[in-house]
A and B are shown apart, each in its own frame.
Chain A
């Protein structure tokens, strides 16, 4: 009996970092933001409870259009990342052996040793009017004048796909690695073409990895700020910019809080829909990631 208080104390101490982390850094701010989002300013420094901030979102087309654009572009980026990452992951998981496999994973990881901001600036140096690509095209005579590749949707998508690739490759490669080689051979042996084996055996097996990677990339993309701002410029129009503008430029914290909550709802809803659509459960998906 005498050990029980000691045991409790140990348990408490062990749990404390996790509880503090979740409570102080995640739950508390979100509760604060939720409360803030329902307060309307009626006079300087006087706030009352109301839905005005949310109504503002639906009545001002710029807000909900940016919101919808962010959602659609993020889905597009996730899909593109998946299509690009799949063959890479397939190669890493099924073809590469030993040192080569480790090397390839390291190569995917390498860009993440520098900050996102620096990586994005790197893209800017390549794509801007006086940048490497523009100069290169002039040098080989494909164009007579400078070309601006920055500040359009293509540049934004490029940057976001680049940033998401690693987070798609790792869960995909994990999922593909567990596929028994004999199962693939059996698929061919029974008369399946490459396409049939891919569609009916490899992809269904990799589904938990596909969903896990897609969720991660989608979340990162929707919540990204630097890449759309730097590569998209004025045309970036990412919803995080609206949140930033409300909090920092307009100093309208309640409005920014409402946008923040809406973004959280959006990403949760799309993740939920994705899970339902593919018939995966969050549990198995998280294991894969």
Chain B
């Protein structure tokens, strides 16, 4: 029977004393998929990855790679290779020896290993770098050596442990695209862990959001962004406005939330409770000078610009709005009638009920 998944985790638990670092996690990764695990530091994602790699033993549960259980299989016998956070290149070896290392460990002759290493270096754009010392490479080149060192072994699964963390911003943006392209050309399954939501959203086919040892939600980047399943996902993935209040009315999926000030806002949610959290993305907030332009929106408020946070395409406005304790965050319009809006300018804000996600707190 053809195996339809490369990696299956089944009710995986890892306890350190009484603390459960990984708490009953199950998921499957399909062949050729780019799967990311996104979570804040300390959420257990590194422990999870180290269990897949074979450096930690799970307390209970099973790890299966192409259907074969990995429990009791040592790290050096698993068809899994890891790109470490620090890259962990071997400084005592040349670039070529680094890439050939895994092959020679398998008993492949030195000459053949060297040839295959050179071919791999060529594919990752490091042709002719075989003789160099790893210390003589730039950050991006070292990154590619670390990946080439794994890919040359043709593993079922490549694990990547925040490999872009140490790079500067420009290079990180570049490497995101390059990693995605590499993964597509080699068609290898990648499992990527990161705390950087942009890395996860840009590169992944599917993302799992992890918090306190559990998966909060698994889905495509779009699903996570537009349809967060839990308040944690809503606030962790992407920029958002977040308000607390209590449900005052609910009908057919639309919930009205009364803020402490008495203002009522309408959004979508499943459960109505006394304590509610409401989330709206800054880009979902419509701005207008004239209240009539926002006529059709159920949520309409009047405010005054309190700050302009200019950051190129990511610029935003903070708007002091009547009824809200904290300023409302909206995207800075850089074209149209509101372009060039200044601090202190009066403005009307509004959003649809669809754009606001409401959860029981």
Question: A residues touching B (Cβ–Cβ < 8 Å)?
Answer: 180, 182-183, 185-193, 196, 200-201, 204-205
Contacts and interface: CB of A to CB of B under 8 A. Distances in A.
B92 A189 contact: no
A193 B76 contact: yes
Given A183-B90, A186-B90, A205-B92, A192 B101 contact: yes
Given A189-B76, A190-B149, A182 B85 contact: yes
Given A190-B150, A191-B102, A200-B101, A183 B88 contact: yes
Interface in B140-180: 149-150, 153
Contacts of B86: 180, 182
B75 interface: yes
Interface residues of B, number: 26
Given A180-B88, A188-B75, A189-B82, 4 more contacts: A182-B85, A182-B88, A185-B75, A190-B102
Contact of A189 (B53, B85, B89, B106): B53
Interface of B: 53-55, 74-77, 80-82, 84-86, 88-93, 101-102, 105-106, 149-150, 153
Nearest to A184: B88
A186 B91 CA distance: 12
B88 A185 contact: yes
8 contacts: A182-B88, A188-B75, A188-B76, A190-B105, A191-B153, A196-B105, A201-B90, A204-B92
B359 to A, nearest CB: 39
A191 B105 contact: yes
Mostly, the A contact residues are: helix
A190 B84 contact: no
Contacts of B84: 182, 185-186
Contacts of A192: 76, 101-102, 105
A185 B102 CA distance: 13
Contacts of A204: 92
B99 to A, nearest CB: 10
Contacts of A190: 76, 81, 101-102, 105, 149-150, 153
* Residue among A188, A189, A193 with the highest chain B CB neighbour number at 10 A: A189
Contacts of A205: 91-92
A192 B78 CA distance: 11
Contacts of A187: 90, 101
Contacts of B92: 200-201, 204-205
A201 B104 CA distance: 14
A196 to B, nearest CB: 6
A186 B101 CA distance: 10
B75 A193 contact: no
A280 to B, nearest CB: 12
A201 B74 CA distance: 19
Contacts of B153: 190-191
A-B pairs, top 9 by smallest CB distance, nearest first, are A190-B102, A182-B88, A186-B88, A204-B92, A191-B105, A182-B84, A188-B75, A188-B76, A183-B88
Contact of A191 (B53, B76, B89): B76
A186 B93 CA distance: 13
Contacts of B75: 185, 188-189
A136 to B, nearest CB: 42
Contacts of B76: 188-193
A60 to B, nearest CB: 47
Nearest to A185: B55
A188 B76 CA distance: 5
A189 B81 contact: yes
A201 B101 CA distance: 10
Contacts of B105: 190-193, 196
* Residue among B55, B91, B105, B150 with the highest chain A CB neighbour number at 10 A: B105
Nearest to A196: B105
Contacts of B91: 183, 205
Nearest to B107: A191
Contacts of A188: 54, 74-76
Contacts of A180: 86, 88
A182 B232 CA distance: 31
